[in-house]
Structures are given as C-alpha cells and as structure tokens.
Structure 1
Amino acid sequence: MLQEINFDGIVGPSHNYGGLSLGNLASAKNANHTSYPRAAALQGLEKMRHNLRLGLPQGILLPHPRPDLAWLESLGASMESAAPIPAWAMSASPMWTANAATVSPAPDTRDGKCHLSVANLVTMPHRSHEWPNTLKQLRLAFAGPGFAVHGPVPAPFGDEGAANHMRLAPSHGEAGVEIFVYGRSGGAFPARQHRMACEAVAAHHGLDPERTLFVEQAEEAIAAGAFHNDVVAVADGLTLFAHEQAFADRASFYAQLERLLPEVRIVEVPAARVSLADAIASYLFNAQLVTLPSGEQALIAPSEAHAVPAVRDYLEELVAGNGPIRATHFVDVRQSMANGGGPACLRLRVVADPAEVDPRFMVDENKLDRLAQVIGATWPETIDSAHLADPALHEQIAAARAALLEALALQGEDL
C-alpha cells in the first residue's frame, strides 16, 4: 500500500555553524557560534519518535563522511587552507534531506514507478559536493523495481530538490498535480532553483505536462530570506498552505491549480496577519503538513513558531476554525533551526510502499533507541568553529559515523 514516508536526515557529528548559506538569515546570524552536534542529533531523533507516535511511517538518511578530503583535494586545498574552505568540507548540511532529491510518486509517472532525482546543490560550495554520497544512499534505499533513481541535473542549472517541489492529490494512490517552484533573484541573495532544472526533472520523471506546473517564487520572498519555497509554502493532500507573498503571480497559479484540482483547499496566510519577516523568523511554513491515520491534517511546526506572538495567534485561530488543518504539534529542533533548517528541511517525503524500501533505512522506536545510544556515546558534545581543522575532531567524527553504520548493519556498504 502506498504511504507517505518521511525520510529524516540524522544530524551528523560534524554539525557546526559556519554561516555558509548566503540568503539564509538564521545561518548568517549564528555564524561561528558553538554548535552542539549530540543535542542536535538527539533532537532530530525525538522529532522522528514524535511522528512515529502519530502513526506516520518514518525513514532515515545518513550523515556523509566528513571532512570531505577527496573534494578538498580536487580543489588543491586541505583542512589547513584559509577559511571558509575547512567549513565547506566539514558541513553537516546533508541533514536537511528536503534538499536530497525531488520525488514523483508512481501514480504521477509514465512508467508507474516512483522516481527520485538527486539534487545537484551547485549554488553553494558547502553543498555542491553532497550529491555523490546522497545518490549512493538513494540507490541503496530504493533499489527495488518500483523505483527509478536519477543522477543530478548538470550545472549550471541549480537544483535544490524537494524544498522547491510540492504535490497535491486526492490520495497517495491517485494521480496528482506536481508543482515546481523556481526563482530568479532576491536582491543580494541568489535564487537557488533554476526553471531549467525543474523542467529537466519533470522530463526525467515522465510527468504529464498537463498536470505539472512551473511557478515562480516571489523575488520579495527570496530577498526576505526565503531561500527555498518551503520557507513560505507547504502542501499535503488537497491542501496548499502558503504565505500571501510566496509566489510572483499567485492569482494565475491559484487559477491553474483550481482548474486542475477543483477540490483543492488553499489556505493563504495574509501578510497583514503574519508578516513575511515573522513567517521566516518562525519557520511557520517550514513545518511538516501531514495527513494523520484519522484523515485529519496536522502541522508539525518548530517551537519557534509558538514563540512569535503573531504566528502563535494565527495558528490558534487556524486550528479552531473549520479549515483542513485541525491540529498543530510543536517540536524542538533548535540546533537545526539555528543553522537555518526547520522540521520540513529535515525530511524528504517519498510516497511508496514501505515494504519495498531497504529496511535498514526504516525506523521504529526500538531502532531509534539504539541510534540514540550510539549518538549519546560517540557524537561530539560541542564544536567550536575555530577548531574545524583539529585532527582529533576528525577522528572522533569518523568513529561516530562508523558506529552509526554498524548499528544499522550498513558498515559494509559503499556509503
């Protein structure tokens, strides 16, 4: 049976605040602060545990080897090179698996397979070297005949994965409308998703052109710090939850959507109620919008959303009303949030039969308990950005990752 599985990234043992992501206001604000990798990873596991208890299937993707010495060598650089090169090589950004790939479920594709295209992430140096390791994981986790895993769109067409992709459908087993959101610019901040990349992914996935939309993100949203669409909009089932200023031409987009899906429910948050600045600071839209086993929809939001008065008040009215979103759950992912990634950044949605996924990439509460023990025993407690070149830290990070792979019975795989 097709179900929506959230594949969360386990926060890696090299989690640090390098301030590397131009246009990501939280990342810039916390640059060079002391990070807490162990706490970050445990917070991520608790979010997964919370979602499991809501009855939602849960998978994982893994931290990458760090530092990435082969990539450094290709630059003619080393961990002794001038900043920010060491931070580029030590980035734990693969934790944000919303950027791992774009996923089209089987009901939408020409060949009836679930297609995944790994994102190239070429816009930012610290992320540009992620895709080869991510591709290895995807090809292992989704090796079954019901999946097709594609390599990246070539540079220079930036592709940042599911963070700029939404799907609306009456149910997981029915054909839906796939929405690719691209950008142009945002003042001093670059647009990271190129329209050509969106079109290439849609072609590789064999999507029906009549049910595929390419929508431009508003320049004002990018300029305000919405470096991905999922900072200002999220979709699930037949519900689109978006800020009034998310899209360049929202009237045209909504009209197309209502033509293709007359039953769509558009929940638009007025700028007069929640400013773009408050939406981005709270990561209101970087929440997981999910359909629970009961059929009701819920928003799994960061605790920061409850701390911003305008956002808190809006959410209280939202769930008290007669709209499709009936509950809000707040989760603590503060270590991730401080580096610019909320609950939605930490997960990649894959609509598939869980039985067809490599079981080593699926989790239950017992497996989360084992992973928590490994992380508690091996992850660094803190990392100071001034010490990223410390060989002892590199040894600890490598040993921690090796212990994780062993706990998952993945130690013999080329990952």
Structure 2
Amino acid sequence: MTLTEINYDGIVGPSHNYAGLSPGNLAATSNKGAVSHPRAAALQGVEKMRGNLRRGLAQGFFLPLDRPNIGWLGKLATDLASAEPHLRAAAWSASAMWTANAATVSPAPDTPDGRCHLTVANLVTMPHRSHEWPGTLAQLKLAFADEAHFAVHDPVPPPFGDEGAANHMRMAPNHAAPGIELFVYGRAGGGFPARQHSEASRAVARAHGLDPERTVFIEQAEAAIAAGAFHNDVVAVANEQVLFAHEQAFADPGAAYADIREKLPQAEIVIVPAQRVSLQDAIASYLFNAQLVTLPEGDMALIVPLEAEETASVRDYLQELIAGNGPIRKIVPVDVRQSMANGGGPACLRLRVVADPATVDPRFLADEAKLDRIAAVVAEHWPEDIEPDQLADPALADRVRAARAALLEELELAELR
C-alpha cells in the first residue's frame, strides 16, 4: 500500500454569499452585505486544485451541500419565505466549501488498527455551520467506504464544539511514517467564542485510538482568538517534521514546543516573531492559512493567498524565509480572493487525508480532465452574482439547486442528491 497525502478541496457552492454569519472571523463580518460572485469563486478554487495537480500533488474534492437547507428551516418551524433574515441566511450558507472543517483525520500509521480514522466535525458553535455535518458525513462515507482501510466516525455530541482539521495538525518524519498529532483547543478571546473545545479534541483522540504518548494538546492563545484567529490554522500550520507558527499562536508556547520535541525529536519549529509580522498582519494576510506541502522533488512549498504578498511585513518575511537555509524553500501565491473575502484562505479550502489513492472512491479524485468538466458545469450553471436581498427569492433557490444537481450528474454522484 502506497500512502500519500491527498488534499481534498471543497468546490465552492452556487449559494456562496456574504452574510457575515461568523463572529470572530473578521474578513467574513467586514464583508457582510457585499455582492458575492459564486461562479468566480468556484473557478478560482478549480484553478487552485489544477495548480496542485501540476505540482505533482494528489488532489481530491468534496461537493457543495444542498442549499438552501429547507429541511433545517422546517425543523425550526419556518420556511424560506417567512424565516427571519439570519435564519434564512444560515440556511443558504456555502461554508462547507472550507473542508478543513469537514473532519479530523488520523492516518493509518498513527492508529492501533492500521486504518485511517475520520471524525466528522459537529460545528455546533455557529448556527450556519451546525447543520453541515450530515451532508459532509454522507460524502465521507462514500469517499472512504472501504472499511478495510478507513473508519468514519459520527460527530462528537453537543455541547462540545469540534471544528475539525482546522484545529488539528500532524507531524511525522514523512507522511507514511508514524507521527504525533497536535490538537489545538481554545477559550473565549476578546468577546469571541472558542470554536474548539478541549473535551471535543480529547474525544476525537480517544475515538481514533491515538497513543497518549504521541498526542499533544495545546491551548490557543486568547490574544490570537481576540485578534481574529477563529481557528488554529489562521496562526499555525504543520507538514511532516515542520511546524510553522506565529509567536503568539499558543497560550504556553514553551511548554507546547517542549512537548512536541520530546515526542518527535526531529521536529523543526519555525516561529515567526511578532516584531517581524504582527498578529494583525498575519491574520489579515492569512500567512498561516496556507498549504504547507512537500513537493515530489522533496522541497517544501508554502501555498499562500495573494494577500500575503500584498502585505509588506509578510512579503518581506517570506523573502527572507526562503533565502535562508530553513525547511520551507518555495512560496506559491494563489488567487482565492472570493474565499478570502468570506474568511477562508487556501488551507481552509482543503482537508488533508494520508491514504493510498487506490483505496478511495475515484469519483472524489481530481485529474485535469475532471477539473475541466467541473469548470464547464460551474461556468454554465453557477450564478454570476448574488446580492444580499436575493436570499428570499425562490427563483434563485431553484437555480442553485439545479446547479448542484448538474454537478452531481456530471460526476456520477447521484447518491448525494
């Protein structure tokens, strides 16, 4: 069995809009009420995936969920026409495109039964995301249906909030080797709620059967949450033996780094000083919400949003980073401005799964031809624009459902209707 890292990106759904539903996510709330561009957003995502394929990386995808979620509104004894505006907007949310929140993944080398374990995130903290998990779970069970190689778990029960891989990192000598798993949890910061509860992180670790001697629990800094780091992946990212983090990411960084080095002696920890890049600049530019990947030739690359190169302190730091002799050798900027405006960078858009591609459902794996087909469906069916007052329009709802149905048909995934 050949284990490799597969990045599963969320295809941006046709209901992509700027409703500003996520307190603590400064980009999302600052763009509340703006006109969104679902077609452009989805095509930007397709090009991001295409770029990774051309770099020799394994690439998969997940599909948009059924939106607006009429069934969820029905459980609230309302419907699209009569729902309060905030409930209507929550029913329309396309936030499942950020598959870093889809699940927490423990690869086979880390688990006692030698299977890759995935626990779907419950996302209970934010109403607009709390109804995502059934649709996400359905995709996980299809994509990873081979029970000889995968175990897909139901969500942690409320009230313990679990937001998936955005608060989880894995470090190992290489993707196929046993590693250590880092769970980052939070408390409230600056009036913003913590999204990841310690109880949820520990429950996932137990469900996956992880060895406590190879598991690290780290508290996120309240200052980071207050500054807008609503998930750990806004201030830290790991890949193989490397952890790349902001100086102010964690509540007790000294203890965290000591624990990591004890459990993985070859760990390389690259800390960005606050004097070089402020917490505010790091969060605004999504420097850490990047994909830190190992290229086929062995070099590590940091795939960053264009905004990182447009922020002077971040640009200067990155130039010095790759000029040095550290583990990160390349910077790759990508255009995901539509996602960024709604609060998600390159790392938000992907879920990392270490597995043998031959063991996963090939319908969820990308190649150039399949991305061409996805782009063609998006170009034909996705709305060009969505204005805030259109969310009450039943014609738009019909168009969005038809667009998703066309994509499911094109990809032969009728089971998800």
TM-score (norm 1): 0.99
- Cross-structure match for 2:329: 326
State the shift of 1:317 in Å: 0.4
Q: Which residue of 2 aligns with 1:349?
A: 352
Shift of 1:159: 0.1
Greater alpha carbon shift after TM alignment, 168-177 vs 17-26:
168-177
Provide the residue aligned with 2:259 in structure 1: 256
Q: How does 1:292-307 map to 2 (within 5 A)?
A: 292-307=295-310
Q: Distance in 1 between matches of 2:51 and 2:318?
A: 20
SS in 2 for 1:185: coil
CA distance in 1, matches of 2:61, 2:363: 9
Partner of 1:41: 42
The residue type equivalent to 2:35 in the other structure is T
CA shift for structure 1 position 260: 1.1
> In the alignment, which residue of structure 2 is the partner of 1:188?
191
Q: List per-residue Cα deviations over 1:186-207 (Å, max 9, x = no partner).
A: 1210000000000000000010
The secondary structure found in structure 2 opposite 1:186 is coil
- Matched residue of 2:225: which SS? helix
Structure 1 residue identity aligned to 2:150: F
> Greater CA deviation, 383-392 or 278-287?
383-392
Paired amino acid for 2:98: W
- Confirm or deny that 1:287 pairs with 2:284: no
Counterpart code for 1:171: N
CA deviation profile, 1:303-341 (whole Å, cap 9, x unmatched): 000000000000000011100000000000000000000
In structure 1, C-alpha distance between the alignment counterparts of 2:394 and 2:87, rounded to whole Å? 16
Distance 1:408 1:200 in 2: 35
SS of 1:301 mapped into structure 2: strand
Alignment of 1:174 with 2:177, yes or no, is yes
| Counterpart in the other structure of 1:88 | 90
Structure 1 distance, partners of 2:357, 2:351, is: 14
Q: Return the letter of the residue paired with 2:320.
A: E
Corresponding residue number in structure 1 for 2:157: 154
Per the alignment, residue 402 of structure 2 pairs with 399
CA contact (8 A) 2:237 2:243 kept: yes
For 2:138, the equivalent position in structure 1 comes to: 136
331-340 vs 259-268, which moves further = 259-268
Matching residue within 90, 97, 114 for 2:116: 114
User: 2:62 aligned with 1:61, yes or no?
Assistant: yes
By how many angstroms is 1:173 displaced? 1.7
Question: Quick one: distance in 2 between partners of 1:184 and 1:66?
Answer: 31
RMSD over equivalenced CA pairs, Å: 0.6
Task: Tell me what 1:50 maps to.
Answer: 51
* Residue 43 of structure 1: how far off its partner (Å): 0.1
Aligned to 2:232: 229
Q: Counterparts of 2:322 and 2:389 in 1: how far apart (Å)?
A: 45
Question: What is the alpha-carbon distance in structure 1 between the residues aligned to residue 261 and residue 142 of structure 2?
Answer: 38
The residue identity in structure 2 corresponding to 1:331 is V
Who is 2:204 aligned against?
A: 201
Residue 78 of structure 1, CA deviation: 1.6
Q: Distance in 2 between matches of 1:363 and 1:406?
A: 16
| 3-state SS in 2 of match to 1:178 | strand
Give the match for residue 378 of structure 1: 381
Percent of matched pairs sharing the same residue? 69
- Asked if the contact 2:408–2:416 (Cα under 8 Å) also holds between the matched residues in 1, the reply is no
1:268 is paired with a residue of what secondary structure?
A: strand
Gaps of 5+ in 1: none
Q: Distance in 1 between matches of 2:387 and 2:84?
A: 16
Do structure 1's residue 76 and structure 2's residue 77 form an aligned pair? yes
* Helix, strand or coil at the partner of 1:12: coil
The AA in structure 2 aligned to 1:228 is: H
Distance (Å, rounded) in 2 between the aligned partners of 1:271 and 1:337 = 23
1:221-273 Cα deviation digits (max 9, x unpaired): 00000000000000001000000000000000101111111111100000000
Cα distance per residue 1:64-119 (max 9 Å; x no partner): 00110010000112212221111000000000000000000000001110000000
Q: In 2, Cα distance between the equivalents of 1:36 and 1:172?
A: 36
- The residue number in structure 2 matching 1:21 is 22
For 1:31, the equivalent position in structure 2 comes to 32
1:173 and 1:40 map into 2 onto residues whose CA distance is 33
Which runs of at least 4 in structure 1 moved beyond 3 Å after TM superposition? none
**Deviation of residue 414 (structure 1)?**
3.7
Q: What secondary structure does 1:286 align onto?
A: coil
What secondary structure, in the 3-state scheme, does the structure 1 residue paired with 2:28 have? helix
